[in-house]
A = this chain, B = another copy of it.
Amino acid sequence: MTDHAERPLRADARRNRARVLRTAAEVFATEGLSVPVHEIARRAEVGTGTVSRHFPTKEDLFAAVLLDRMRTLADYADALTAEQEPGNAFLGLFTKLVHEGAAHRGLAEALTGAGFDIEAAAAAAGCDVSGRLRDMLTNAQQAGAIRPEITYADLKALMAGCLAYEGDDLDRVINVVRRGLQ
């Protein structure tokens, strides 16, 4: 899917691409996915054509925004797996993902099913956070730290629930779920 043998972008193009990406990340995070592409272009101080050349569709743009974050989260997951026992590693990633989603409205919307196929985008980039969460769940269950009947689909729903919370003590909601999982 990605361009192969891509010749290097001209300097101004590279600059504009980065500027669009940075603006889109901010805007998606604070205002969600429904922001028009025109608006992102306006705030990035480029034409709409510039946006749509670098990112042919809105979904492409969002996927690109997601990529950085996914990479970071995948590293975080690996660190947890290495340093903690299975139960804590799993719960730690779960908590991290929820906090991450709470700080990024677009990510939360994508997770709660509003259109974009977030898993495909992440997996395509080799940053399979979902897969890691799935594995960590299995390990935590084998270690007896998490109830055995819980499935990955359950987790997704429970994450969506925490993300739907609008208040000032997200951890209280997370703790309800953590208790329920154990």
Contact = CB atoms under 8 A, between A and B. Distances in A.
Contact of A180 (B157, B164, B175): B175
B176 A165 contact: no
The range of chain A's interface size is: 20 to 34
Interface string A146-182: 0101110110111111111111000011011111110
Given A176-B154, A177-B176, A162 B164 contact: no
Contacts of A112: 112, 160, 164
Contact of A161 (B157, B167, B172, B181): B157
Contacts of A167: 151, 153-154, 157
Given A151-B172, A160-B164, A161-B162, 9 more contacts: A112-B112, A147-B176, A149-B172, A153-B165, A157-B164, A158-B173, A159-B161, A176-B181, A180-B181
8 contacts: A112-B160, A157-B162, A157-B164, A158-B173, A160-B164, A177-B177, A177-B180, A179-B179
